[in-house]
Chain A
Amino acid sequence: DIVMTQSPDSLAVSLGERATINCKSSQSVLHSSNTKNYLAWYQQKPGQPPKLLIYWASMRESGVPDRFSGSGSGTDFTLTITSLQAEDVAVYYCQQYYSTPITFGQGTRLEI
Chain B
Amino acid sequence: QVQLVESGGGVVQPGRSLRLSCAASGFTFSSYGMHWVRQAPGKGLEWVAVIWYDGSNKYYADSVKGRFTISRDNSKNTLFLQMNSLRADDTAVYYCAGALGDMWFDPWGQGTLVAVSS
Query: Which chain A residues have a beta carbon within 8 Å of chain B's beta carbons?
Result: 38, 40, 42, 44, 48-52, 55, 61, 93, 95, 97, 100-107
Binds A, one of B9-17, B42-50, B77-85: B42-50
- How big is chain B's contact interface, by range? 20 to 34
Which residues on B sit within 8 Å (CB–CB) of A52?
A: 104-106
Query: Which chain B residues have a beta carbon within 8 Å of chain A's beta carbons?
Result: 35, 44-47, 50, 59, 61-62, 95, 97, 99, 102-106, 108-111
Q: Which of B50, B59, B102 has the most CB of A within 10 A?
A: B102
Determine if B102 and A97 form an interchain contact, defined as CB atoms under 8 angstroms apart.
yes
CB<8 Å pairs between A and B, sample of 20: A44-B45, A49-B95, A50-B95, A51-B108, A52-B104, A93-B44, A93-B45, A95-B45, A95-B104, A97-B99, A97-B102, A101-B47, A101-B59, A102-B35, A102-B50, A104-B44, A104-B45, A104-B47, A105-B44, A106-B44
Smallest beta-carbon distance A62→chain B, Å = 10
**A51 to B62, alpha carbons, bound, how many Å?**
26
Determine if A95 and B44 form an interchain contact, defined as CB atoms under 8 angstroms apart.
no
